[in-house]
Amino acid sequence: MRKQLRAAAVMVGVMAAGGAWAGDEEVGEAGRRSPTDLPSPIVARLHDSFPDATAAGIEQAGGGWEASVVEGLRRTTLMLDHVGNVVERHTPISVRALPAPVRASLERSHPRHTLWRATEIATDEGAYHEVLLARGDRRSVVLFDPTGRALAGVNRS
């Protein structure tokens, strides 16, 4: 339960920042790196995990790294620790591909909202889902745990 609350608090911070992931310090243009400037474990992990992908952006985030890779038409964001282990994988998915418990929870809690986008966040604890909703001119982002329970939500006007 404590891990889920910590994950929810982190995700609320990510959602409130507009999807950007930043550590304790602001990461600006100076924090962006090219793949040749990275430590060898990070480069090896990215190459092994995504051999046909192109690195779209790599930044130092907190004690680890955030890397965006593009493979075909799909962009995946990876959160890596300082030695290159994948901590989280953020992958856009179709709204229709949301698991049944998440869809049922959305139908109960947000019956008149339009589902815009969905992202699957794969961690060691399971797959969390972040859903962007709209109703009129109001926007909301809701984070669901693997069982379909809403953990956190942020309203954007």
Domain of 19, CATH number, reads 3.10.450.360
DSSP assignment letter at 31: G
Task: Look at residue 14 and tell me whether its pLDDT is greater than 70.
Answer: no
Q: Give the per-residue pLDDT at 37.
A: 65
Q: Give the per-residue pLDDT at 120.
A: 92
Q: Give the per-residue pLDDT at 31.
A: 53
Q: What is the pLDDT of residues 93-127, one digit of tens each?
A: 988 889 999 989 888 888 888 888 899 999 888 88
**133-146 average pLDDT score:** 88
Which residues lie across from 92 on neighbouring strands?
Answer: 119
Q: Give the per-residue pLDDT at 26.
A: 37
Q: Give the Cα-Cα-Cα angle 147, 127, 125 (nearest 5 degrees).
A: 85
Q: Give how many domains the chain has, as a whole number.
A: 1
Residue 95 belongs to domain spanning: 2-156
Bigger pLDDT: 41 or 151?
151
Q: Give the per-residue pLDDT at 157.
A: 52
Task: Look at residue 86 and tell me whether its pLDDT is greater than 50.
Answer: yes
Task: Look at residue 42 and tell me whether its pLDDT is greater than 50.
Answer: yes
Sheet containing 32-33, strands listed edge to edge, beginning at the edge strand earlier in sequence: 32-33, 54-61, 64-71, 74-80, 86-93, 114-123, 126-135, 138-144, 150-156
Q: Decide: 146 and 126 in contact? Cβ < 8 Å.
A: yes
